[in-house]
Amino acid sequence: MAWVSTAELAAAVSEGGGLGIIGSGQAPPEWLMEQVLKAKELTDKPFGVNVMLLSPHAENILRFLAEEKVSVVTTGAGNPGKYVNMLHDAGIKVIPVVSSVALAKRLERSGVDALIAEGMESGGHVGELTTMALVPQIVDAVTIPVIAAGGIYDGRSMAAVLMLGAQGVQMGTRFMCAAECTVHNRVKEMVIKSKDRDTVVTGRNTGHPVRVLKNKLARKFMELEEICTPGEELEKLGVGRLRLAMVEGDVEMGSVMAGQVSAMVSGIQPAGLIIRDVISGAEKIITDIYNGKVNLQQ
Ligand code: TUI
C-alpha cells in the first residue's frame, strides 16, 4: 500500500474503528517522517506503519519508528527477526506479513506479537499459497494470533477467515477506493472498472512476483518474461513504477498493484463505512450460523 495508504487513509481507518497502517514501500525516510507526524495530528487513536524490508531505507525507517514510538510495525517482503528486540524495547508491537509456514514458525520463535498470513489473492508482492490454504496451516503451526489477508473484501470473507482460525483481517484493495485515500483518481477509476480476471502476477522470474491490474506495463512484463528476459533487466523496468501509477496517475505505464477483490469494489466510500459494513456483515453471518439458520444436518 506504499503511496496509497498515506497519513490521511491510515488516520481515517483508525478513527473508523480499525488499525490504520501507513505504507512506506521504498519511500525515503523523510517522506515517512512527514506522514507519521501528519497521522499524529489527524488522530489520537493508535496506528501503525508497514516497512517493506527490500527497501534500502528499511533499517533507517525502523530506527525512526522506534524513536517515534508508533503503536505497531508490520513488515513485508522479508524476515524482520533482527529488529524485533529494538522495536519491543520501544514498546512497539511487531506483526510481520508471512506467506509460508516455515517463516511463521521462525518469527514466532523471534518473539513477534502476531502474524499476518497473506494469501496470493492480495495485491503487490505475493507468495504461492491462497488465503484459504495458508491461513489454517499457519493457525495450526503457531500459538500467537493470526490475522488473515488476501481476498478479504466484506463480511463474507471476514467470516470465512475467522472460521479458518484467524483473529482479525487486513484489507488493502477495498481501502484504495476509500474517500480519504489519496491515491490518484485514475487508479480509483481503474479499480472500480476492473473485472474478475483483470489482475495478473508478473515478475515471477525476478524472484519478486507482484500482482497488478493489467495495463501496458503489465503486458510488456509478460512479453519479456515469455522470451526469458533476465531478472535484472525486468527489475530495472520496474523501478519507480508504483509511484508513477499511484501518485502521478499513469495507469498505463505505472504499476497498479491491487488484489483479486479489485473486481468487487464498485464505488467510493468513507473508510469508517467500509469498516462498519465488513464487521456488521461478518457479525450477521456468524449470528445466523450460531442461531441454526445455516443447518448442515440433513
Ligand atoms: O510486501 C508485501 N507487498 C508488497 S511489497 C511491494 S514493493 C516491492 N518492491 C520490489 C520487489 C517486490 C515488491 C509491493 N507489495 N506484502 C507482504 C508480503 N510479504 N507478502 C509476502 C511477503 C513475504 C514473502 C517472503 C514475507 C516474507 C518472505 O520471506 C522472506 C524470507 O526471508 O523467508
pLDDT tens column, 99-140:
999 999 999 999 999 999 999 999 999 999 999 999 999 999
Ligand 1 center from residue 118 Cα (angstroms): 10
Domain of 148, CATH number, reads: 3.20.20.70
Residues 59 and 133 in one domain: yes
CA 7 to chain centre: 15
Ligand 1 pocket member 103 (CB < 6 A): yes
Does the residue 157 lie in any domain?
yes
**Same domain assignment for residues 41 and 80:** yes
Q: Are residues 14 and 87 in the same domain?
A: yes
User: Which residue has a Cα nearest atom 13 of ligand 1?
Assistant: 125
- pTM comes to 0.96
Task: Decide: 173 in ligand 1 pocket, CB within 6 A.
Answer: no
Distance 26 CA to ligand 1 centre (A): 12
Q: Under a CB-based contact definition with an 8 Å cutoff, are residues 158 and 282 in contact? A: yes
Sheet with 199-202, strands from edge to edge, namely 124-125, 210-213, 199-202
| Whether residue 240 sits in one domain with residue 130 | no
**Cβ–Cβ < 8 Å for 138, 96:** no
Do 196 and 146 share a structural domain? no
Say whether both 285 and 156 belong to one domain: yes
Query: Domain of 206?
Result: 185-261
Q: Does the CB atom of residue 257 touch ligand 1 within 6 A?
A: yes
Q: Which residues pair with 51 in a beta bridge?
A: 75
70 plus 171 within the same structural domain? yes
Q: What is the mean pLDDT of residues 216-228?
A: 96
CA of 209 to the centre of ligand 1 (A): 9
User: Which numbered atom of ligand 1 lies nearest the CA of 98?
Assistant: 26
1 belongs to a structural domain: no
Higher pLDDT pick, 206 / 190: 190
**Structure confidence by residue, pLDDT tens digits, 143-197:** 999 999 999 999 999 999 999 999 999 999 999 999 999 999 999 999 999 999 9
295 lies in some domain: no
Residue 194 lies in a domain: yes
pLDDT single digits (tens) 6-64: 999 999 999 999 999 999 999 999 999 999 999 999 999 999 999 999 999 999 999 99
In tens, the pLDDT along 249-260 reads 999 999 999 999
CA distance 57 to 53: 8
To test the ligand 1 pocket, which listed residue (125, 201, 241) has its Cβ within 8 A of the most ligand atoms? 125
Residues 98 and 167 grouped into a single domain: yes
| Segments of 53-197 assigned E as strands | 72-76, 93-98, 115-118, 124-125, 146-149, 168-170
As for how many domains the chain has, the answer is 2
What pLDDT does 298 receive? 62
Instruction: Note whether residue 223 is domain-resident.
Output: yes
C-alpha cell at 204: 515471477
Domain membership flag for residue 62: yes
State if residue 139 touches ligand 1 by the CB under 6 angstroms criterion. no
Same domain, residue pair 64 and 171? yes
Best substitution site from 5, 51, 52, 131 to test ligand 1's pocket, by max atoms within 8 Å of Cβ?
52
65/25 same-domain check: yes
**Ligand 1 site, residue 208, Cβ cutoff 6 A:** yes
Quick check: is 2 in a domain? no
The answer to whether 145 and 135 are in contact (CB under 8 A) is no
Could you tell me if residue 94 is inside a domain?
Answer: yes
| Pair (35, 103) in one structural domain | yes
Both 19 and 97 in a single domain?
Answer: yes
